Amino acid sequence: MDNRPIGFFDSGLGGLTCIPYVLDALPDESIVYFGDTARTPYGSKAVSTIRGFAFEIADFLVCSGVKMIAIACNTVSATCLDELRTRHPEIPILGIITPAARTAALELPADGRIGIIGTKATITSGAYRKAIEQYTSGAEIFETACPAFVPLIEEGIIENEIMDLTIRYYLDHFISYNKIETLVLGCTHYPLIRRNITRVYPQLSIIDPSRELLTSIRAELANRELLADLSGMTPPENIFYASDLSENFVNMISRILAGSDAKASFRTISLEKK
Ligand code: DGL
């Protein structure tokens, strides 16, 4: 049993899409989340830059006393998971790609056609393809980067024509030419436009890695006997840090927590070395 918080991080508010699943399934757990809103997006930056940012955040979360880090970011999981584990062997560090790839392989017909969408860094890494191929051999895998999605989502441009046109711009040809049946939302920001994608392509079945991360978190906490047990005590406050606390970030957390007993505080912190 371990009542220390779980650390989550992302380049911005995308990783928040993982949080409702955790609060729902593991109500005794508390959360420290870091959104690097001042430096988002990560996905079009060099791998060495992404790695530097990820190291700073992981160091910060470890200093904050988390018992585990769940990387709520496909880009970081795709580019520097091993390096983060080497840097912090003292706690488990989970990536988001393996659990999503496992689900994709399980749900897919043996000769299924699967599309992966993500940031440039995620798609260039080939991490999803490699992970899915570990679980299945017959599937046809197609990948494409959609770099304009994240900046629009961070700006809150979601339920409107601009987002729908951007979706069509990236995906019309990709989906029809490759006859995609299943689409993996390989960026934690993308569940926020899932409704738009389903509206434009209602025939697709969608896999949401933000949801699949919970499976790994739960299994890892149980295996290592790190599950929290509050035995009826009030859960500690969840802390949400951002490097630039935007209105969208705060509003999204308020929406996630509305109707639950979970408490939250918001803090701005800059990790950049002066
Ligand atoms: N939400 C992140 C991901 O899952 C990062 C997006 C970005 O900053 O480009 O890849």
Is the distance from the beta carbon of residue 17 to the nearest atom of ligand 1 less than 6 Å?
Answer: no
Render pLDDT for 74-113 as a digit per residue (tens, 0 to 9): 999 999 999 999 999 999 999 999 999 999 888 887 778 9
Is the per-residue pLDDT at 258 higher than 90? Answer: no
Q: Lowest-pLDDT range, 4-8, 55-59, 229-233, 266-270?
A: 229-233
Active site residue 73: yes
Is the per-residue pLDDT at 14 higher than 80? Answer: yes
pLDDT, average across residues 41-60: 97
pLDDT, average across residues 191-218: 95
E-assigned strand segments in the chain:
6-10, 31-35, 68-71, 93-94, 113-118, 140-145, 182-186, 205-207, 238-242, 264-268
Q: Which helix (H) or strand (E) holds 129?
A: helix 127-135
Q: Lowest-pLDDT range, 15-24, 74-83, 142-151, 231-240?
A: 231-240
Is the per-residue pLDDT at 274 higher than 70? Answer: no
- CA-proximal residue: ligand 1, atom 2 (nearest): 73
Mean pLDDT of the chain: 93
Pocket test for ligand 1, best of 9, 11, 155 (most atoms within 8 A of CB): 11
Active site residue 63: no
- Domains, the chain, with CATH or none: 6-95+211-268 (3.40.50.1860), 97-209 (3.40.50.1860)
Q: pLDDT confidence of 260, banded at 50, 70, 90?
A: confident
pLDDT, average across residues 65-73: 98
Rounded to an integer, what is the distance from CA 229 to the centroid of its chain? Answer: 25
- State both tokens at 189: 């920001």
Render pLDDT for 17-34 as a digit per residue (tens, 0 to 9): 999 999 999 999 999 999
8 Å CB contact between 249 and 22: no
**Which residue among the candidates 18, 80, 146, 187 is catalytic per the annotation?**
187
Is the per-residue pLDDT at 167 higher than 60? Answer: yes
Q: Lowest-pLDDT range, 43-57, 101-115, 239-253?
A: 101-115
- State both tokens at 182: 């299943």
Is the distance from the beta carbon of residue 150 to the nearest atom of ligand 1 less than 6 Å?
Answer: yes
Q: pLDDT confidence of 259, banded at 50, 70, 90?
A: confident
Report the share of the chain in percent with pLDDT over 90: 78
- The greatest distance separating any two alpha carbons of the chain, rounded to the nearest whole angstrom, comes to 55
- CA-proximal residue: ligand 1, atom 9 (nearest): 43
What distance in Å separates the CA atoms of residue 152 and residue 53, rounded to the nearest whole number?
A: 22
Is the distance from the beta carbon of residue 182 to the nearest atom of ligand 1 less than 6 Å?
Answer: no
Tell me the torsion sign for CA atoms 240, 145, 206, 76.
Answer: negative
pLDDT of residue 237: 87
Strand pairing category for 238-242 and 264-268:
parallel
Q: Lowest-pLDDT range, 129-138, 222-231, 251-260?
A: 251-260
pLDDT, average across residues 57-66: 97
- State both tokens at 178: 């490759």
* pTM, to two decimals: 0.95
Q: pLDDT confidence of 240, banded at 50, 70, 90?
A: very high
pLDDT of residue 88: 98
Is the distance from the beta carbon of residue 73 to the nearest atom of ligand 1 less than 6 Å?
Answer: yes
